[in-house]
């Protein structure tokens, strides 16, 4: 039966043969240790020509217990290199084991149109679930009678012989969760807005999410059967959120529907096809499959069960899979009607049995030809993941941006702006968008008034954005969420400080933090009044040094009473550049005479703090 399927032609391209699946490489070149990823203690020792025990001992002294096969992360590799007089450099290469970074470029002639993947979003109670049911049932009769559907997180429907894949968890949680894990599965967002209620907070959030992900929106104005329905009011409200409908000269299509009465559902689906065709969604069915895990669970009878969305290639039973850090053979593959499939084409959601463990939703998967290959890659991915978890890197911090910029990598800085009023949010946004730094684009993906909320944190996490609070703060719960999601929240009270900081980050010129360092202290032992000059303090340097040029402060009984600089520093009759501890000196403070015996003159300098 599968023989007739057009997907059973031989798959010519196997990603794993195009990408080196060999282990990470490393070697010393002109005193520079060049490596491509995490390596083991043994490998590093060999390359640097030292004993593995030296590395193990080094980390043991720092409280880390390693063995010869333990993997070392960048920081550890760097430390060991420096300890042994080598410079180090990490070269980025894409290996089969980090296949999420693969940029597949299929030849134009290998590409074929694929169905769009659609997510339905909108405010609560505006009819998302009702719409999903309406679509699901619209062509149930086309499938074999008696097929009891199983919930696999996505399903396909057909209109005019064209397929559409729907992600069936409505709302933006699923969308955000996927995106925050770096997986973008959605090609089109259907934004449901109830005609009797209009644009509401979650409608706006959904718009923000779709825009941040750069996904086209189709507006479904729902509940038009209701007496209070006012579609034109909805359209005007959308305009205020930069959703310009076709009838107003924009490029967003709106369809007026009733999900409950199943009115205009076909028209909505036809619009999806139209938008999909404009987006020219294509994939290469003649390669080994790759895509995303939509859902996964442990089935009591069948073991780990994962719903996969195939994004490119064809998945077949008998293929070997790596999903996240799990692997296995595709033992059985079914669609949402429990129909067993032998092959599944791009954009198809399938439930797969046969993995060794339960992967996580959002994990990427890839199919391989041999079990050995799949097993080795999964193992390697597991080790790398454990290492990364230990390191706990954050989502995006200003410092990251700064470092990335140094390496010439950054193009986008995503910002979420929360301000005390709509006016100041708009003002901040406008000023930020005016910042002009070559090769850097500042995207304000949300600018609203009000406190910083968990929803902001989720959006930030999903879009690797930094949250700026302008005269507003997050509450404790949001702060905790930000910590958990590793989202950076920065608070500013002055517009230009905010602009300056972002501009500096964009230029890679983040100001170094300055910290004061005490250089020395002198105790005043005697006062000399000189009529033309003022009062000279006869001092003993009791600690460190006193220099002529650095700033000083005058301390009396532990309280700072004056801050300024030295007008003149003398040793005996001579001008001095500096006076060390244990020596007497005369100090005239610039513009300040109200000194007393036993006052302390403390001198400090401002030094850059190494980050
Ligand atoms: P969700 O929270 O967005 O998933 O909204 P639901 O699909 O649960 O719908 C919320 C309520 O609106 C339910 O009582 C639905 O029956 C009702 N509803 C949904 N669509 C329509 C519609 O087109 N017309 C009318 N009159 N009611 C609808």
Residue 475, pLDDT above cutoff 80: no
pLDDT at 311: 93
Encode pLDDT of 568-610 as tens digits: 999 988 899 999 999 999 999 998 888 999 999 999 887 776 5
Please provide the DSSP assignment of 312-346 as one string: ESBEETT-EEEETTEEEEEEEEE-TT--B-SEE-T
Residue 14, pLDDT above cutoff 50: no
Residue 406, pLDDT above cutoff 60: no
Task: Identify the residue whose C-alpha is closest to ligand 1 atom 10.
Answer: 125
Encode pLDDT of 29-47 as tens digits: 777 888 777 788 998 999 8
Per-residue buried b or exposed e for 273-302, using 16+ beta carbons within 10 Å of the residue's own CB: bebbeeeebebbbbbbbbbbbbbbeeeeee
For the residues 526-549, what does the mean pLDDT come to? 90
**Mutate-to-test residue for ligand 1 from 127, 169, 195, highest number of ligand atoms within 8 A of CB:** 127
The two structure tokens encoding residue 137:
């049932």
125 CA to middle of ligand 1, Å?
A: 6
In three-state secondary structure terms, 309 is strand
Task: Identify the residue whose C-alpha is closest to ligand 1 atom 11.
Answer: 125
- What are the CA-CA distances from residue 157 to residues 117, 340, 585 (Å)? 11, 17, 90
* Beta carbons within 8 Å of 293's beta carbon, 6+ residues apart: 306, 307, 308, 323, 324, 359, 360, 361, 362, 363, 364, 365
Q: Which helix H or strand E contains 413, and what residues bound it? A: strand 412-419
Q: Are strands 412-419 and 465-470 parallel, antiparallel or unpaired?
A: parallel
pLDDT band of residue 183 (cuts 50, 70, 90) is low
When comparing pLDDT for 369 and 144, which is higher?
369
Nearest CA among 464, 495, 460, 463 for reference residue 474: 460
Nearest CA among 421, 396, 426 for reference residue 409: 396
**Mutate-to-test residue for ligand 1 from 122, 123, 124, 125, highest number of ligand atoms within 8 A of CB:** 125
H helix runs in 166-264, sequence order: 172-180, 201-212, 231-239
13 CA to middle of ligand 1, Å?
A: 46
130 CA to middle of ligand 1, Å?
A: 6
**Mutate-to-test residue for ligand 1 from 260, 261, 262, 268, highest number of ligand atoms within 8 A of CB:** 260
Residue 513, pLDDT above cutoff 80: no
248 CA to middle of ligand 1, Å?
A: 28
131 CA to middle of ligand 1, Å?
A: 8
124 CA to middle of ligand 1, Å?
A: 9
Encode pLDDT of 384-405 as tens digits: 777 666 544 334 556 555 555 4
d(CA 378, CA 385): 10
Length in residues, the chain: 611
pLDDT band of residue 463 (cuts 50, 70, 90) is confident
Pocket residues: Cβ below 6 A from ligand 1: 122, 124-130, 170, 222-223, 225-226, 258-260
Task: Identify the residue whose C-alpha is closest to ligand 1 atom 18.
Answer: 127
256 CA to middle of ligand 1, Å?
A: 14
pTM flag (> 0.85) = no
Q: Are 286 and 11 in contact (CB under 8 A)?
A: yes
Encode pLDDT of 128-153 as tens digits: 989 988 998 765 544 444 455 667 77
The two structure tokens encoding residue 299:
């089935």
Task: Identify the residue whose C-alpha is closest to ligand 1 atom 14.
Answer: 125
d(CA 252, CA 521): 70
517 CA to middle of ligand 1, Å?
A: 65
For the residues 200-205, what does the mean pLDDT come to? 90
């Amino acid at each position: 039966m599968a023989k007739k399927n057009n997907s059973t032609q031989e798959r010519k391209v196997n990603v794993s043969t195009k990408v080196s699946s060999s282990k990470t490489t490393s070697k010393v070149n002109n005193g520079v240790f060049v490596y491509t990823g995490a390596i083991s203690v043994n490998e590093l020792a060999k390359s640097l020509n030292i004993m593995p025990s030296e590395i193990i001992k080094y980390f043991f002294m720092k409280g880390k217990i390693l063995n010869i096969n333990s993997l070392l992360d960048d920081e550890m590799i760097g430390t060991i290199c420096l300890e042994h007089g080598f410079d180090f450099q990490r070269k980025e290469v894409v290996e089969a084991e980090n296949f999420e970074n693969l940029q597949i470029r299929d030849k134009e002639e290998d590409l074929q149109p694929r169905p769009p993947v659609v997510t339905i979003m909108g405010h609560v109670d505006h009819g998302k679930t009702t719409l999903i049911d309406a679509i699901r049932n619209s062509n149930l009769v086309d499938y074999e009678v008696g097929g009891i559907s199983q919930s696999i997180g996505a399903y396909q429907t057909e209109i005019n012989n064209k397929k559409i894949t729907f992600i069936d968890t409505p709302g933006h949680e699923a969308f955000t969760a996927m995106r925050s894990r770096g997986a973008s599965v959605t090609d089109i967002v259907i934004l449901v807005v109830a005609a009797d209620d209009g644009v509401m907070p979650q409608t706006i959030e959904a718009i923000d999410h779709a825009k941040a992900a750069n996904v086209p929106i189709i507006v479904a104005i729902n509940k038009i059967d209701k007496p209070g329905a006012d579609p034109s009011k909805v359209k005007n409200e959308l305009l205020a959120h930069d959703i310009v409908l076709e009838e107003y000269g924009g490029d967003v299509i709106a369809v007026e529907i009733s999900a409950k009465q199943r009115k205009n559902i076909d028209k909505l689906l036809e619009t999806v096809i139209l938008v999909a065709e404009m987006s020219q969604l294509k994939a290469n069915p003649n390669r080994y499959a790759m895509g995303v895990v939509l859902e996964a669970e442990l089935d009591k009878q069948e073991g780990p069960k994962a719903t996969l969305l195939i994004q490119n290639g064809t998945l077949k039973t008998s293929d070997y899979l790596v999903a996240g850090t799990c692997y296995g053979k595709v033992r059985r593959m079914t669609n949402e009607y429990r129909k067993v499939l032998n092959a599944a084409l791009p954009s198809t959601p399938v439930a797969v049995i046969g993995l060794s463990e339960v992967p996580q939703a959002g994990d990427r998967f890839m199919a391989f030809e041999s079990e050995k290959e799949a097993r080795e890659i999964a193992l390697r991915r597991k080790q790398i993941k454990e290492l990364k978890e230990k390191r706990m890197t954050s989502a995006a911090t200003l410092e990251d941006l700064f470092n990335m910029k140094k390496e010439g990598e950054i193009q986008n800085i995503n910002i979420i702006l929360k301000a005390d009023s709509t006016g100041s949010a708009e003002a901040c946004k406008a000023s930020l968008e005016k910042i002009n730094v070559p090769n850097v684009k500042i995207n304000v993906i949300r600018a609203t008034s009000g406190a910083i909320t968990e929803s902001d944190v989720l959006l930030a996490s999903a879009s690797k954005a930094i949250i700026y609070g302008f005269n507003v703060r997050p509450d404790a719960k949001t702060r905790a969420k930000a910590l958990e999601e590793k989202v950076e929240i920065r608070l500013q009270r002055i517009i230009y400080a905010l602009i300056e900081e972002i501009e500096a980050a964009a230029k890679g010129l983040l100001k170094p933090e300055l910290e004061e360092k005490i250089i020395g202290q002198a105790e005043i032992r005697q006062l000399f009044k000189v009529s033309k000059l003022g009062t000279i303090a006869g001092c003993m340097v009791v600690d460190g040094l006193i220099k002529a040029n650095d700033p000083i402060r005058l301390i009396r009984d532990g309280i700072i009473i004056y801050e300024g600089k030295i007008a003149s520093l003398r040793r005996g009759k001579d001008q001095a550049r500096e006076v060390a501890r244990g020596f007497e000196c005369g100090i005239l403070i610039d513009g300040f005479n109200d000194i007393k015996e036993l006052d302390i003159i403390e001198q400090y300098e401002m030094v850059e703090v190494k980050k």
